Amino acid sequence: MNADGEQLGVKSTGTCFGLLERVRVRGGAGISELARDTGLSKSAVHKHVQTLSTLGFLVREGDRYHLSFRFLAFARQARDRLPFARVESTVRDLAETTDHTTDFLVRENDAVVCAVQTPAGTGAGPEHGEGSVVPAHATAGGKAVLAYLDEAERDALLERRGLPRYTEKTITDRARLEEELQSVRDRRVAFGREEFTPGVHAVASPVLGTDGRPVGSVSVVGDTRQMSGKRLEEDVVGLVTSAAKTIERAVRTA
Amino acid sequence: MNADGEQLGVKSTGTCFGLLERVRVRGGAGISELARDTGLSKSAVHKHVQTLSTLGFLVREGDRYHLSFRFLAFARQARDRLPFARVESTVRDLAETTDHTTDFLVRENDAVVCAVQTPAGTGAGPEHGEGSVVPAHATAGGKAVLAYLDEAERDALLERRGLPRYTEKTITDRARLEEELQSVRDRRVAFGREEFTPGVHAVASPVLGTDGRPVGSVSVVGDTRQMSGKRLEEDVVGLVTSAAKTIERAVRTA
DNA sequence: GCCGGCGTTCACTATCGGTGAACAGCCTTT
DNA sequence: AAAGGCTGTTCACCGATAGTGAACGCCGGC
C-alpha cells in the first residue's frame, strides 16, 4: 500500500514510482526486499521490476536492481526550464562567499523541491540533496516561497502536505505560520531556526516571477553558532537577498 | 501504441514512461498533444498525467506539463554508482586537452547510455546528452563496450537493438561487425567513422571491471577534419586510452 | 543434507486502465 | 454576437490486466 492514502487515477503508476523510490533510497535493491518494503507480493514486484528493466529505467546487476542513467535525461530537461548556468554560478558564488551550504529551491505545483545545492567545503550540513521535496512550513527556503503564494495556492499546498512536526521548534499552527509569513513579506527574508533540523539555522530570500508569483527561493544554511550574531546575520541577509535578486533577473529575462 | 512491440509485464508502466518521454523531448506538453503523440485517448492521457502530477513527477504550468526536479534525485542515485567526481574530472581534462566533446558511456543491461558528457568550447558536435541511449554498433564508444562483452551478452544486446542504419557507413552486417570488434580488441581502441552521424569521427577506449567485463568506455568525438591525420589521431588515441585507464582504476577501487 | 533465503513461474479473479461521447471554457474567425 | 475549433475535464462502460498465493528450482550456510 502506498504511504499516502490519496486516490490516484492510475494505481499501477503509483506502485511503479513507489518501487523506484525504494530502489533510490536503498541505493539498489532486490525483489524480496522491495516486496517487504511495499507490501506487494513478490510476483507483483517481479513483474514491475522486469518491466522497468526492459524499458531501461532499472538496471539489473546480479540480483540487485539500480536506477538507470537514463534518469539523467529527465533531470536535464527539468533543469532546462531554468537559466541553469546563471542560477548555478550565482548559488556557487554565494556558497563560497558565505562558506555555507546554499540551496536554490523551486516551487512545483503544491511542493517545494531542491533544484540546486552547493555544499560548502567545511559544513557538512543536513543535505537532502537536489531533487528532494522540502517541507515548506519548516524551512527558511520553504517559507520564503510560501509567503508569496496567493491564499488559494498556499491553502492547497498546506492541506496537501500538512504541518508535520520535525523538532520542538517546528511551527505546527496555521495561524502562527501566517504571522511568520507576514513578517517574511515585510522583510523579504525568511529565517529558519531549527524548525526542521536541530542545530541548523538558515536564511532565505524569495525569487519572484514577472507575475509576482514565487518561482523559488535562495537559502543559506549553517549550524546554530555560525548563523547567529547580529553582524553575521545581517551580512548573510544582504548576500542572500542580493543573490535572489540576481537569479530573479535571470529567470525573468529567460 | 508503444513504439516497440515488446511484451511488457505491466502495460500501464509502459504508457506512463512513454508519456514522460514525450514530455521530455517536447520540453513540456499538453494533454491533447500527448494523446496525439501516443495514440491514446485524451481521457487516458488525462488520467495518467493527473496521477503523475499528484505523485509530483510532472508539474503543471498553465495547461502544459513539465518534468519535475524530483528526477534530479533519481539521477543522483544513478551517478552514485560511479566514483563520480573522479570520472567527471578525468573526462573534463580529456575534453580540455583535446578540445573535443568527450563522453563517458556506461553499459546497462542491454543498452549503452551516456553517463557523462563534456562539450568542448568550440565543437558543437551532435550531442545526445547525458542520459541518452547510444547505438552500440554505430558509435566508437558503443563498439568499445561491445567488443568486450561475452558472446551471450553481445547477442542479447544486438538482438534487442538490432543494427539500424544511420548513415551509409553504418555497419549493418553482423559478421562485418564482429571483424571490427576483433580489431577493437587487438588495439583496445575503437573508431567511429561517420557511422552514426555524417561528418563525425570518434575515438574510444573501453573501461573494464575487475571481472574483465566492460563497465563502459571513454570517447572523444569531433568533426571529420579535426579527427583525421596520422599524428593527431595517434595522439588522441593515446590520450583516450590513458583516460580510460585512469577511470578504470577509479572504478575498480571504488 | 537440510533448511531458509532468493528469483521465477503459473492460473485465477477482482480491479482498473482505456474508450468514446458529451461537456465547459477560451480563443479566433466570421 | 454567434459560430467554429481548440483546449481540458468528466462519466459510464467493458475487457484487459495488475496483483495474489502457491509451487518451483536454485544457491549458500548452518
Domain ranges for chain B, please list them. 11-68, 78-253
CB contact under 8 Å between A113 and B69, yes or no, is yes
B92-112: pLDDT as tens digits: 999 999 999 999 999 999 999
pLDDT tens readout for residues A176-208: 999 999 999 999 999 999 999 999 999 999 999
| Chain A positions in Cβ-Cβ contact with residue B17 (cut-off 8 Å) | 55, 57
Q: With bands split at pLDDT 50, 70 and 90, how would you rate the model's confidence at B119?
A: confident
What pLDDT was estimated at residue B4? 46
Place of cell 544511420: B166
Closest-CA residue to B47 (of B1, B10, B71, B12)? B12
CB-based contact B196:B171 (threshold 8 Å):
no
pLDDT band at A126 (very low <50, low <70, confident <90, very high): low
**In this model, does residue B126 exceed pLDDT 70?**
no
Sheet of strand A214-223, all strands in order from the earlier edge strand to the far edge: A133-134, A111-118, A101-108, A214-223, A200-208, A190-193
Residue B163: the pLDDT is: 97
For the beta carbon of residue B9, count every other beta carbon within 10 angstroms.
17
pLDDT for res A4: 46
pLDDT band for position B224 (50/70/90)? confident
Using CA atoms, how far residue A17 sits from A32, A34, B16, B17, in Å, is 17, 12, 10, 11
Quick check: helix, strand or coil at residue A149?
A: coil
A89 close to A76: Cβ distance less than 8 angstroms: no
CA distance B95 to B89: 10
CB count within 10 Å of CB A120 equals: 18
Residue A111 CA and nucleotide D18 C1' are separated, in Å, by 30
Which residue in the set B14, B20, B109 is minimally distant from A74, CB to CB?
Answer: B20
Q: Which nucleotide is nearest to A51 (CA to C1')?
A: D18
Q: To the nearest whole number, what is the mean pLDDT of chain B?
A: 92
Q: Which residues of A touch B67 (CB under 8 A)?
A: 74, 77-78
Rounded average pLDDT over A142-151: 96
The confidence score (pLDDT) of residue A8 equals: 80
Q: Give CATH for domain B78-253.
A: 3.30.450.40
Contact A10 B129 (CB under 8 A): no
**3-class DSSP state of B104:** strand
Nucleotide C8 C1' to residue B142 CA (A):
31
User: For A239-252, what is each residue's pLDDT tens digit?
Assistant: 999 999 999 999 99
Mutate to test the interface with A, among B2, B6, B7, B13 (most CBs of A within 10 A): B13
Helix residue ranges, H only, B133-229: 140-146, 151-161, 174-187
Give the CA-to-C1' distance from A71 to C16 in angstroms: 28
Q: What is the mean pLDDT of chain A?
A: 92
Judge: A51–B113 Cβ closer than 8 Å, yes or no: no
d(CA B239, CA B237): 5
pLDDT of B127: 66
Separation between Cα atoms, residue B32 and residue B19, nearest integer Å: 12
* Strand D CB shell (< 7 Å): A 11-12, 15, 39-44, 47-48; B 8-12, 30-33, 42-43, 46, 49-50, 63
pLDDT tens digits for B137-173?
999 999 999 999 999 999 999 999 999 999 999 999 9
Q: A75-253, which class in CATH?
A: alpha beta
A-B C-beta contacts closer than 8 Å: 182
What is the model's pLDDT at position B44?
97
CATH number given to A11-68: 1.10.10.10
Residue A213: all three cell numbers together: 508569483
Give the model's pLDDT for residue A1.
36
Of B51, B59, B109, the CB nearest to A59: B109
Domain A11-68 shares a fold with domain A75-253? no
